[in-house]
C-alpha cells in the first residue's frame, strides 16, 4: 500500500518526502526523531506513513500525548483518513477511570484515588460492568473518548472497560504519557493493549525529560499528616492508637525540618523521620489494613474512598526503598503557606530505556527536538534517524529583534534594570497595536513588572489578561478564549506556564511576542542537584547543557512559536534580553527567528516595528 494514499489532504511543502521517509524507516524498525514546526501537519503525516505498515503487519500504533485532553487529536485525523479510504478500522482515545466510570459519576466521586478504589471494590456488582461482560460488541470505526463514553451511557455499559476490551482490535490507540511512563499504570493496560512489537509515536516529545520525572516523584505536606491522623481517630484499638502516636512524632519531626529551612529549599532525610517515629516494616503493613477499612467506611457513608494515611505510608515506604538510588533526592521547601516534602526522581534515560525496547519502531516528534544527539542522550536512545521538516516562512513575514542593554541575569532585577524594562515594555506596547503576548522568564520577574503594564493598559484602554501562578485549567481556558477573540489586547504569562506551550493562537489571535528574559531555573538547591546529577552522567560541560541551558532555550523557542502556525502568518518577535545574542543561546533558537534576527537598541527596535507590516 502506498502511504501517500492514506494522506487525506493535498500535500504541501515537503510532506510527500517526509511521509515516504518515515514509512521506510519505520518499516526497518528505526528510532526516528522528527522535528517539524507547529502547523506543519505532523499528525496526519505520521499517521499516513505508519498506517499501511500497521495494517499489513496487524500491529497497532500506540500514540502517546502529554495529557488526557490531547488524546482525541490523532483519532480525529484518523476519522478523516477512514472516511477518505472507505476502510473499516478501529481507533480509540483511551482515558482513565476518573473520566470514564459511570458509577462514580452517579455517586459524585471525581478524584483519581476514589474512582480507582470504587472500581476495585464494586466491579463484580457494578451493573455497567456486568452488562459489558454479557455483551458481544465489536467496534470498527475511530472513536474519541467522549463518543465511547456516550455509547456506554446509552447502552448502560462500562465505558472504561469497553475501550480496553476493544483495544486488542484497534489499529490506533491514543493515550497519555502516564500509561507508559508509570509502571503501575502500564501494568493496568498491558493485558488489553498490545505493546510488544507495536509502533510508538511520542507527541511533543521534548516534554519527556520533565514528564518521566513528574510521574515517578511524589510529595506530602504537614497537612497530609494531619488528615492521616484524623482518619486514625476512628479506630479505638490499642495498635491503632500506637500507630497514631508514631505518626504524631512524624508530624513533630517534619515541623522541626520546616523550621530549619533557611533558604528557598533544602534536602531532608526520610529515614531519620521514620527512625525518630520508630516506625517499622510491620507498621506499614498494619497501616495498609487500616486503609482498607477506611475505604470501606467511606463507601458505606457515601463518600469518596480516599486516604491520606495511604498517601503518607506509601510516600515513606517508597522513599526508603529509593534512599540509595542515584538520581532520587529528597527536598523540602515552602509553597505559598505550606511546607512541602518531596521525593524527586531526576532520572530520564535510565527510566525510559527499557520502555523503548517494547516497540518495533518509535517516532519522537516535536518542533523543538534539536539538537538531536542531546535529545537522544536524555531519553536513552542509542541509534536514531533524524528527519527535519519545515514550511518556508518568508523572511519578510517575521520581524526578529534582540534588545540591547537589558537582561534579567541574576537573582533579582536591580532598580535600574527594572526601570529599563518598564520603559522598553511601555514603548513596545504603545507601538504594537495588535494582540501581543509578553512571556516572562518567571513569575518573580512578571510580578516585578506587572503593575506598570496594568497601568499602561488601563491608560491606553487596552485589554490585559494575566496568568496567575497555580491557575486552574478552567480559568486558563476562559482567559485563552477571551484573549483570542479580543483586539489589541496584552497577554502576560510565563515561559514556564501553559500559555507558552500547546496553546493555539490562530491568525490575528496573536501577532506579536515579547520574551522578557531567558527562562532558566533559579539556582536553588533543586537546580544545583539536577545539574550535579547530569554532570555525573554526561560530564561537566554536557551535563550542564542538558540540565540547565537546553530546557530553558526550548521553553523560549516554544513561546516564540505561538504566533507562527502556518507559512502565511506574520509576527513580531522580540527577545528582550541581550543574552539571546550569545552564540551558545542564539544557536538553539528557531531558524525562522535566527535567519532574520538583529541586535538593536530600543529606538531602533521601534523604527523596525513602524516599518514592519502585520497586514
- pLDDT band at residue 69, thresholds of 50, 70 and 90? confident
Q: Average pLDDT, stretch 102-122?
A: 95
Say how far residue 263 (Cα) sits from the centre of its chain.
28
Is the pLDDT confidence value at 13 over 80?
A: no
Which pLDDT value is given to residue 391? 75
* Parallel/antiparallel/unpaired status of strands 338-345 and 328-335: antiparallel
- pLDDT band at residue 359, thresholds of 50, 70 and 90? very high
- pLDDT band at residue 276, thresholds of 50, 70 and 90? very high
Is the pLDDT confidence value at 142 over 80?
A: yes
DSSP letters spanning 383-410: S-EEEE------GGGEEEEEETT----S
Which pLDDT value is given to residue 540? 96
The arrangement of strands across the sheet holding 490-494 comes to: 464-466, 490-494, 436-440, 512-516, 571-576, 398-403, 598-600
pLDDT tens digits for range 585-608: 999 999 999 998 999 999 999 999
Burial class (CB in 10 A: 0-12, 13-18, 19+), 556: buried
Specify the 3-state DSSP secondary structure of 338.
Answer: strand
Q: Average pLDDT, stretch 23-49?
A: 94
Which pLDDT value is given to residue 67? 82
- pLDDT band at residue 9, thresholds of 50, 70 and 90? very high
Measured N-to-C along each axis, helices 127-134 and 159-167 cross at an angle, to the nearest 10 degrees, of 30
pLDDT tens digits for range 400-435: 999 999 999 987 899 999 999 999 999 999 999 999
For residue 114, count other CB atoms closer than 10 A to its CB: 24
Contact 412, 445 (CB under 8 A): no
Is the pLDDT confidence value at 507 over 90?
A: no
Measured N-to-C along each axis, helices 602-611 and 415-431 cross at an angle, to the nearest 10 degrees, of 10
Write the Ramachandran bin of 268: left for phi over 0, alpha for psi from -120 to 50, otherwise beta: beta
Q: Average pLDDT, stretch 343-351?
A: 95
Nearest to 554 by CA among 527, 578, 521, 526: 521
- pLDDT band at residue 611, thresholds of 50, 70 and 90? very high
Which pLDDT value is given to residue 565? 80
pLDDT tens digits for range 206-262: 999 999 999 999 999 999 999 999 999 999 999 999 999 999 999 999 999 999 999
Nearest to 487 by CA among 506, 510, 455, 504: 510
The arrangement of strands across the sheet holding 385-388 comes to: 142-143, 90-93, 170-176, 61-65, 199-202, 361-366, 31-35, 385-388
Specify the 3-state DSSP secondary structure of 73.
Answer: helix
- pLDDT band at residue 473, thresholds of 50, 70 and 90? confident
Which pLDDT value is given to residue 38? 80
pLDDT tens digits for range 513-534: 999 999 999 999 999 999 999 9
Contact 211, 501 (CB under 8 A): no
Q: Calculate what percentage of the chain has a pLDDT beyond 70.
A: 100
Measured at the alpha carbon of residue 614, what is the angle toward residues 613 and 615, in degrees to the nearest 5? 90
State the pTM of this model.
0.92
Q: Is the dihedral of CA 430, 431, 434, 440 positive or negative?
A: negative
pLDDT tens digits for range 149-167: 999 999 999 999 999 999 9
Is the pLDDT confidence value at 614 over 80?
A: no
| Total residue count of the chain as it appears in this document | 615
Measured N-to-C along each axis, helices 238-259 and 270-277 cross at an angle, to the nearest 10 degrees, of 140
- For 248, the enclosing helix (H) or strand (E) is helix 238-259
> In whole angstroms, how far apart are CA 68 and each of 99, 120, 275, 287, 528?
9, 22, 40, 32, 32
Say which residue, 70 or 258, is predicted with more confidence.
258
Nearest to 11 by CA among 38, 37, 48: 48
Specify the 3-state DSSP secondary structure of 34.
Answer: strand
Which pLDDT value is given to residue 446? 96
Which pLDDT value is given to residue 60? 96
Nearest to 585 by CA among 535, 559, 548: 548
Say which residue, 360 or 394, is predicted with more confidence.
360
> In whole angstroms, how far apart are CA 255 and each of 217, 316, 338, 339, 340?
22, 16, 11, 9, 11
Q: Is the dihedral of CA 376, 93, 564, 439 positive or negative?
A: negative
Amino acid at each position: 500500500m502506498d502511504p501517500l494514499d492514506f494522506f487525506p489532504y493535498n500535500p504541501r511543502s515537503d510532506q510527500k518526502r517526509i511521509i515516504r521517509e518515515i514509512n521506510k524507516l519505520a518499516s526497518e524498525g528505526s528510532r526516528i526523531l522528527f522535528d517539524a514546526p507547529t502547523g506543519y501537519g505532523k499528525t496526519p503525516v505520521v499517521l499516513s506513513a505508519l498506517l499501511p505498515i500497521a495494517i499489513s503487519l496487524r500491529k497497532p500504533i500506540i500514540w502517546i500525548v502529554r495529557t488526557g485532553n490531547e488524546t482525541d487529536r490523532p483519532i480525529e485525523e484518523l476519522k478523516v483518513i477512514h472516511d477518505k479510504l472507505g476502510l473499516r478500522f478501529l481507533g480509540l482515545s483511551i482515558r482513565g477511570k476518573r473520566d470514564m466510570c459511570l458509577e462514580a459519576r452517579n455517586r459524585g466521586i471525581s478524584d483519581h484515588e476514589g474512582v480507582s478504589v470504587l472500581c476495585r471494590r464494586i466491579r463484580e456488582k457494578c451493573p455497567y460492568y456486568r452488562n459489558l461482560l454479557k455483551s458481544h460488541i465489536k467496534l470498527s470505526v475511530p472513536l474519541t473518548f467522549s463518543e465511547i463514553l456516550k455509547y456506554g451511557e446509552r447502552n448502560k455499559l462500562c465505558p472504561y472497560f469497553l475501550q480496553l476490551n476493544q483495544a486488542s482490535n484497534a489499529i490506533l490507540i491514543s493515550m497519555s504519557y502516564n500509561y507508559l511512563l508509570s509502571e503501575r499504570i502500564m501494568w493496568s493496560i498491558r493485558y488489553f493493549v498490545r505493546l510488544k512489537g507495536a509502533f510508538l509515536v511520542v507527541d511533543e516529545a521534548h516534554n519527556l525529560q520533565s514528564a518521566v520525572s513528574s510521574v515517578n516523584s511524589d510529595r506530602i505536606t504537614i497537612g497530609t499528616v494531619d488528615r492521616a491522623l484524623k482518619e486514625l481517630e476512628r479506630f479505638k484499638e490499642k495498635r491503632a492508637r500506637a500507630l497514631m502516636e508514631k505518626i504524631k512524632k512524624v508530624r513533630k519531626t517534619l515541623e522541626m525540618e520546616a523550621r530549619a529551612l533557611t533558604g528557598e529549599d533544602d534536602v531532608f532525610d526520610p529515614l531519620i523521620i521514620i527512625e525518630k517515629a520508630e516506625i517499622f516494616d510491620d507498621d506499614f503493613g498494619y497501616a495498609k489494613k487500616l486503609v482498607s477499612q477506611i475505604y470501606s467506611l467511606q463507601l458505606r457513608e457515601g463518600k469518596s474512598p480516599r486516604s491520606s494515611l495511604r498517601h503518607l505510608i506509601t510516600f515513606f515506604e517508597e522513599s526508603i526503598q529509593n534512599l540509595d538510588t542515584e538520581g532520587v533526592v529528597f527536598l523540602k521547601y515552602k509553597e505559598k503557606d505550606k511546607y512541602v516534602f518531596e521525593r524527586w526522581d531526576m532520572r530520564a534515560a535510565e527510566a525510559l530505556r527499557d520502555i523503548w525496547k517494547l516497540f518495533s519502531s518509535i517516532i519522537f516528534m516535536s518542533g523543538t527536538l534539536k539538537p538531536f544527539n542531546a535529545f537522544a542522550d536524555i531519553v536513552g536512545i542509542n541509534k536514531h534517524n533524524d528527519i527535519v521538516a519545515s514550511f518556508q516562512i518568508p523572511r519578510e513575514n517575521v520581524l526578529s529583534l534582540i534588545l540591547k542593554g537589558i537582561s534579567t541575569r541574576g537573582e533579582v532585577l536591580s532598580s535600574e534594570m527594572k526601570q529599563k524594562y518598564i520603559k522598553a515594555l511601555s514603548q513596545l506596547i504603545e507601538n504594537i497595536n495588535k494582540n501581543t503576548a509578553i512571556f516572562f522568564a518567571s513569575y518573580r520577574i512578571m510580578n516585578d513588572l506587572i503593575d506598570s503594564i496594568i497601568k499602561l493598559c488601563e491608560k491606553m484602554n487596552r485589554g490585559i489578561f494575566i496568568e496567575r501562578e497555580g491557575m486552574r485549567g478552567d480559568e486558563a481556558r476562559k482567559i485563552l478564549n477571551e484573549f483570542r477573540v479580543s483586539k489589541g489586547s496584552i497577554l502576560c504569562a510565563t515561559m514556564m506556564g501553559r500559555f507558552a506551550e500547546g496553546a493555539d493562537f490562530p491568525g490575528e489571535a496573536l501577532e506579536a511576542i515579547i520574551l522578557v528574559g531567558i527562562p532558566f531555573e533559579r539556582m536553588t538547591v533543586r537546580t544545583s542537584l539536577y545539574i550535579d546529577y547530569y554532570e555525573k552522567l554526561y560530564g561537566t560541560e554536557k551535563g550542564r547543557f542538558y540540565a540547565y541551558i537546553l530546557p530553558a532555550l526550548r521553553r523560549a523557542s516554544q513561546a516564540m512559536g505561538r504566533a507562527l502556525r502556518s507559512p502565511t502568518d506574520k509576527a513580531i518577535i522580540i527577545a528582550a534580553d541581550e543574552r539571546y545574542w550569545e552564540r551558545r543561546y542564539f544557536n538553539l533558537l528557531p531558524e525562522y527567528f535566527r535567519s532574520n534576527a538583529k541586535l538593536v537598541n530600543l529606538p531602533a527596535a521601534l523604527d523596525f516595528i513602524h516599518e514592519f507590516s502585520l497586514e
